[in-house]
Amino acid sequence: MVTTIPQTPNTPIQSVLIVGNYCHDVLLQGGAVVAETLGGAASFISNVLTGLSVSFHLTSKVGVDFKYPVNHDPIVVPTSKTTVFHAYFNQGYSENAHQDRVLKRVEVCDPINPSDLPDRKFDFGMAVGVGGEILPETLERMVEICDAVFVDIQALIRAFDENGTVRLLRLKESGFYHLLPRLKFLKASSDEALFMEVEEVRLWCCVVVTHGKDGCEVYWKDGEMKIAPFGANQIDPTGAGDSFLGGFVGGLVHGLVVPDAALVGNFFGSLTVAHIGLPKFDLRLLQHKCMLSNILRGSELCGSLCWKLGVNGEGRPYNARIKEEVQTRKVQGTCWLERRDDEVSFTKPAGHDEFHASLSSSKLVSAECRRDLSRSPGSVEQ
């Protein structure tokens, strides 16, 4: 069983439980292997939460053949192999498949059972299986030990034919439908949303539908809202939705209301598609003076990452800066953590557009820093 990440003074103490297996991902194009990477929604989400200094516990299973070093050790099943996915690009669109790739599960690890979960309470739970490892009874146990449960619909509706090709079931046929009233958020891509009745599901829990380059939409019982996207040069869409969910929950943990947290989700999703496999956020680049000047102009997200490095150009710790920044993003006295009330949570706060501009600016400055550092003799080793 894994442990939470080490805590630093003033690190947010809200705890998150992530449930989903690590995978081996193999990307193929034209019949040739393009890349082999660590995969699984849990790997992308934990990557984002670590960057946002959010404490979490990860329950994941792998086989004895698991080959990647990770900061949060999984449960090793001695009689099983690690789940393996092959992603075939440029295969065209077919029913039950992503438009940009066809997925096949070629190996499968054991499912995660209720007894595998820790015997303690959590503020947030994330059910993020990718290979059928989340069981109805496991999700029910998560509801019992977590105050608010977030579910990626792929954990509920994915099925696999005799060749391992991923196909999708109707949500009502998945065996999980009865648990919807006990969930807080259900996240789906625009393709996956076709396999549920959004107008019906939104009566039970909040639904977040991601639209790739077009951002996302949030639906709740009494309304809906579009959240603006961030520009990105897509190389590999794998993990974009997972990184979105990690950023979204990370924003809520930091006390942001839903619209601002969804912006953080869109931001991390846009970063992820620009990488093959698990993205690296290049934290060391944030020490560059041009990035620091942007942070000091108010980019709270990059501020949180730089605080992890202990740099801010002024000789004072970034934890104080983060606290100040996050407070400005809250509706005073009515943030999501203080009052989990739909009417309050889904109100777009003042400064929302400025927050979007600040995150966009941080991406542009980061790109400029990379170019500057790559041209300089003392460039940071990537």
In DSSP notation, 166-203 reads EEE--GGGSS-GGGGGG-SEEEEETTGGGGS-HHHHTT
Closest CA to 209 of 196, 222, 221: 196
Phi and psi at residue 355, to the nearest 5°: -65, -45
Q: In 3-state terms, what secondary structure has residue 342?
A: helix
Query: Could you name the CATH architecture of 16-22+41-62+112-299?
Result: 3-Layer(aba) Sandwich (3.40)
pTM, full prediction: 0.78
Query: What is the C-alpha to C-alpha distance for residues 221 and 227, in angstroms, rounded to an integer?
Result: 17
Q: Has 110 been annotated as catalytic?
A: no
One of 25, 152, 236, 242 is an active-site residue; which one?
Answer: 242
Q: Which residues pair with 101 in a beta bridge?
A: 89
- Are 130 and 40 a contacting pair, CB within 8 Å? yes
CB distance 260 to 345 below 8 Å = no
pLDDT tens series, the chain, 382 aa: 443 334 444 444 468 999 999 999 998 888 899 889 999 999 999 988 988 888 999 999 999 999 999 989 999 999 999 999 998 876 444 444 445 678 899 999 999 999 999 999 999 999 999 999 999 999 999 999 999 999 999 999 999 999 999 999 999 999 999 999 999 999 999 999 999 999 999 999 999 999 988 999 999 998 999 998 887 676 666 678 899 999 999 889 888 889 989 998 988 888 876 666 676 665 443 333 333 334 333 334 433 333 333 333 333 333 333 334 444 555 433 455 544 544 446 777 777 887 777 777 766 545 544 444 444 444 333 2
Tell me how many degrees the CA angle 58-63-64 measures, rounded to the nearest 5.
Answer: 115
